[in-house]
Chain A
Amino acid sequence: MILDIKGLNKSFKSPVKAEGLSGRVKSLIKGEYREIRAVRDLSLSVPRGEMLAFIGPNGAGKSTTIKLITGILYPDEGSISVLGMDPHRQRKALSLKIGTVFGQKSQLWYHLPASDSFSLLGSIYNMSAGETERRVAELKEIFELGDFLDQPVRKLSLGQRIRCEIAASLIHSPEILFLDEPSIGLDVVVKARIRDLIKRLNEESGITVFLTSHDAGDIEKLCRRVIVINEGTTVWDGSMKEMKYSLLNRRIIDVKLEEELNLDLPGVSILKNRPYSAKLEADLNRADMKEVMETLIRNNTIQDINVSPIPMEEVIAHIYEGRTAGEAAE
């Protein structure tokens, strides 16, 4: 296991701001604090080479967890082992083996060519000039940076810049890569390109990828495993396929008909009903798919039919709203 977390707890004291002047004075003398449990009883383990989506709504405790994993915060309880190290005690040593990309915070010098930032990062990660040069040449090829590596970063398009950002975080050949919203603000084509690159990277170099994103596409296209956290604890940990097909056990059925829809089955709700088409949602915990299809075909003249799982975005929204597997089954 490259990452092993057991029974992690972390809470913060947040000062309660009192109202009015007298309250302010009082709080100066005897401050009142509210305890926020940012992470509660979190356990997870990640094998080497995994592509993991680590998602949750805003304020769920994602960043806190990442800060705990990278050693910036110290846990109140529980143990963390990253690459066999204790992140808080060995933060510097660990930092040499992890790379980070924050979509909203650049690590490149704005007016300088990316190649300069690369060489600076090489020195920061204690690499010799020769080592850095070889590594940059490799990354230049993988990320196809040849055309713009020597142009000032401010002149690059967002897509080019993100490619440079990701390459920059890989200069020191880290074993784990943390990607935080890497595709924010990118267009569809560039997004797809970035995803391909990350995927290729994972396949070729076996780097473990830890992705946090609100982009359902990123999560669905990239990751084999998904961990959803909410209110500081894991609400879902499983494979992407499982999540999509079994967590929310519903199918959307679009039908084209020659007449009005005629269907009344428990567990099947009609989302849209127009003269020649209808959209149904079947809850597979209550309705049997075979029976649904048979009844549909028996009672109606069907021209076309399309059965699809719930879109990824809705699956995530459902989980965020707190409907876990058990509740969804009700």
Chain B
Amino acid sequence: MRHIRKYAKIFQCTFRDQLAYLSAFVTGQIFFVVIIFVFFSLWKVIYGKEGLIAGLSLTQTLWYLTFTETVELSKARIYLTIQNEVKEGSIAYALNRPYSYNGFQTARAMGESLVKMIPILILGFVTTLLFVGPLPGYARALPFGLVLITGGLLLNTLWMLNIGLLAFWTEDVTPFYWIFQKLIFILGGMFFPIDFFPDWLQQTARSLPFAFSAYWPALTMVRFSRHAFLTGLTGQVVYIILLGLTGSLLFRAAQRKVHVQGG
């Protein structure tokens, strides 16, 4: 119980600390409005006179992309934080505290992510509404969608944690992050729904971990079904546990590699 309280407090403090950057962050999100506009123009041409592609309407597709972008843009780049701490050696300060380093970083990242998620959701709602009108079933899907979006954020955080810990072996982890991000973009269905893929790829892509960061949360929002929600949730839980485990194995191996920096 005390342990949960510890990490909940870390989450809560980061959340409130990050609120200070809220207005700067929101101003920086003009980019997001531009992306939605680009997507809108692009998909309007692709749809042409077609009402549905792979069972999704233009309205649904655009809302879908708004939600996958929400997960992407809300992330806290902890792989950079961890890389810096390893490089500078300041990770040593975190090691002599009675908490798990991974737990601390995860709680912190989630605090930051949720501060970013809320304004992005609102901004996305307003912008997408202006372009393509309301999403049918939005209100009903929202509570379930929020659970999966949060799960997607947690999944991404754990990916970044694992990538960040690689800094113990290699000086620069950004290439790993770059590869991971491209996998989310394509296989995770961030740039277009997995339903648009050729059949042979669909099944695989749907069960890969990347889909649970982007595809399943967004799909649950735009085409809600109990099945979609439960599949998304189950997959997220499984991959969160897996990445949590690899993270702690990596950390255990990394501890033997803690070096002296700064004599």
Q: Which residues of A contact B (CB under 8 A)?
A: 12, 38, 58-64, 67, 70-74, 91-92, 94-96, 98, 100, 102, 105, 107, 109-112, 116-117, 119-120, 123-126
Contacts and interface: CB of A to CB of B under 8 A. Distances in A.
A100 B96 CA distance: 9
A92 B98 contact: yes
Contacts of A59: 263
Given A72-B258, A73-B258, A124 B98 contact: yes
Contacts of B259: 12
A112 B98 contact: no
A71 B97 CA distance: 11
Nearest to A117: B13
B92 A58 contact: no
B2 interface: yes
Contacts of B18: 111
Contact of B17 (A74, A95, A110): A110
A58 B262 CA distance: 8
Interface string B14-29: 1011111000000000
A225 B55 CA distance: 78
Contacts of B260: 12, 38, 63-64, 67, 73
Interface in B128-152: none
Contacts of B95: 70, 72, 91
Contact of B6 (A60, A92, A124): A124
A123 B263 contact: no
A4 to B, nearest CB: 19
Contacts of A100: 93, 96
B255 to A, nearest CB: 8
Nearest to A66: B92
12 contacts: A38-B263, A63-B260, A95-B97, A95-B98, A109-B14, A111-B16, A111-B20, A119-B9, A120-B10, A123-B2, A124-B6, A124-B10
B89 to A, nearest CB: 8
Contacts of B99: 124
Given A12-B260, A64-B260, A120-B9, A72 B97 contact: no
Contacts of B97: 95, 124
Contacts of A125: 98
A109 B17 contact: yes
A286 B192 CA distance: 87
Contacts of B92: 63, 67, 72
Contacts of A116: 13, 16
Given A109-B13, A123-B9, A63 B96 contact: no
Contacts of A62: 263
A126 B4 CA distance: 11
Interface string B88-123: 011011011111000000000000000000000000
A55 to B, nearest CB: 13
B96 A91 contact: yes
B5 interface: yes
Nearest to B92: A72
Given A60-B263, A64-B260, A126-B2, A70 B16 contact: no
Nearest to B16: A112
Contacts of B14: 109
Nearest to A92: B98
A86 to B, nearest CB: 14
Given A12-B260, A38-B260, A60-B263, A120 B13 contact: yes
Nearest to A119: B9
A112 B17 CA distance: 6
Given A38-B260, A60-B263, A124-B6, 13 more contacts: A12-B259, A64-B263, A73-B258, A73-B260, A92-B98, A94-B96, A105-B90, A109-B14, A110-B20, A111-B20, A123-B5, A123-B6, A124-B97
A129 B10 CA distance: 15
Contacts of B90: 105
A285 B13 CA distance: 61
Contacts of B13: 109, 112, 116-117, 120
Nearest to A60: B263
Contacts of A12: 259-260
A74 B10 CA distance: 29
A193 B41 CA distance: 65
